[in-house]
Amino acid sequence: MNGPNDSKDNQTNPGSAPILLGLQTELQPMVKVPDQGHSCCGAANTPSQEKTCCGPTASPDQMQKVDQILKSLMNEPLRQETAPPPVQEPLDTQDVPTAEPVESCCGYAPPPPSSHLERPGYQLWSFVDKFISTPVGQVPKVTTVLDKSDIQGTIMARLGGARDNYKICPGLYSVGDPDQDSPVLVTANYKLTFDSLRKELDGLNAWILVLDTRGINVWCAAGKKLFSTEEVISRVKMSGLHNIVKHKELILPQLSATGVSAHLVKKWCGFKVIWGPIRANDVKKFISAGMQADKPMRQVTFTTAERLELIPVELYLLRKPALWALAAIFLISGISPGFFSFSAGFSRGIMAASALLVGIVTGAVVVPILLPLLPGPAFYYKGALTGFFGGVLVAGLWWDQAGAMASLALLIFVTVISSFLAMNFTGSTPFTSPSGVEKEMREAIPRQMAALGAAVAIWLITGLFA
């Protein structure tokens, strides 16, 4: 163990660090000469090579200069060390020294460095630009431009792949450079909803209060009492919003009105609820108009483009039920006078499988596209209508091979499948209400089950007596 009177050669000279840093550029090309016949990258050196892939070799004059510099450093007196200044949060990136990666001669280039905003145990979303200081602590500032990961997430959510867990952490966010007079926008923590809002706020300084709606959009969360009075009050108090803004106003989306009582929010947290527009792309116009909404801002639309967005989700959610249905179809189709026939299961199963496919298309694709043109207020009726015409095509396709009774079973089967799938759109349209949906289901499902039972019975009988 070294003591306080050890020789100078065993001591660390802190004063040499600045000199070394100052001479970094001069010393950089002076590298150790590799062993003869080998390079630092493993390839043999030849006498004609003046450089290796790790840098140029040092000349005798350069090596002599290095020796002189090192001797001067060893003779320099020690300097008094001082404690480094405390790091203040948030840490400014301009104050943090960064090392630029050098081009490597071997292997791939290194990935980008970790963000200085990252913290152990927490996930830093790509849409967080930085953190801003507020009286209650640091608040993340989000970008208004969707990046590649946002777009990929949107596609997956539209297809249904990440729909069940596509959410962000609830709490307070900011956009632009908000202050105590900036508006407060309230939204759901379904990331597709959050992205739809923030991408419309370019050039706006605002606070975004995200509620915990379990990753469900505003309209559905309000119907499930997740975008609720209690959640608004709780999130306002948890975020310390009363210490951040002085106007005591919250802008809530109009589609959340079924779950939020404005007067109770005012009573229990002191914030006044202002009902904003239905669509996020009207928010900036709404704020610039003095929190006044015109008629189009209050009207719910369900255009062809909006209906088409729902089709991929419905098809994705059908993948597992469709596989089970196909297994049951081939099993039932194989029942024959000899108990079971694999050839019959295949030949008749193909017919029934085509009926299933047509029922899915007519119920989950054709109905939303032609929704305003189809007669009748009930969705199950609209689906039955499109399914009937699809069933006629299937029955006509297999008439000669299946016969009249089996073709009738296929017609009924297509109609039932289409009718049932069409009801999936009752909860995503402005055409119905929750009570209307419940009434339609109580009326439709018994009829659909009876018709499905009749189709299965006819299919079994025609197989047994084929």
pLDDT in tens, 343-353: 889 999 999 99
- Residue 48, CA atoms < 13 Å, CB-side half-sphere: 0
At 435 the pLDDT is 77
Among the listed ranges 132-146, 268-282, 434-448, which one has the minimum average pLDDT value? Answer: 434-448
pLDDT at 137 over 50: yes
Pick the more confident residue, 99 or 327.
Answer: 327
> Which residues are CB-contacts of 38 (< 8 A; sequence separation ≥ 6)?
44, 45
User: Does the pLDDT of residue 116 top 60, yes or no?
Assistant: yes
- Strand boundaries in 191-316, DSSP class E: 206-211, 249-252, 272-275
Alpha helices for 299-403 (secondary structure H): 304-308, 311-317, 319-333, 342-361, 367-370, 379-402
Query: Which domains are delineated in the chain?
Result: 128-300 (3.40.50.11600), 305-464 (no CATH)
% of the chain with per-residue pLDDT over 70: 72
**Mean of all residue pLDDT scores within the chain:** 81
Give the separation between CA 326 and CA 413, rounded to whole angstroms: 13
Structure token pair of residue 463: 């197989």
Specify the 3-state DSSP secondary structure of 427: helix
Average pLDDT over residues 168-191: 96
Q: What is the pLDDT of residues 34-49, one digit of tens each?
A: 444 443 443 444 444 4
End-to-end Cα spacing for the chain: 99
Other C-beta atoms closer than 10 Å to the C-beta of 394 total 24
Return the minimum-mean-pLDDT range out of 18-32, 150-164, 228-242, 320-334.
18-32
- pLDDT above 80 for 395: yes
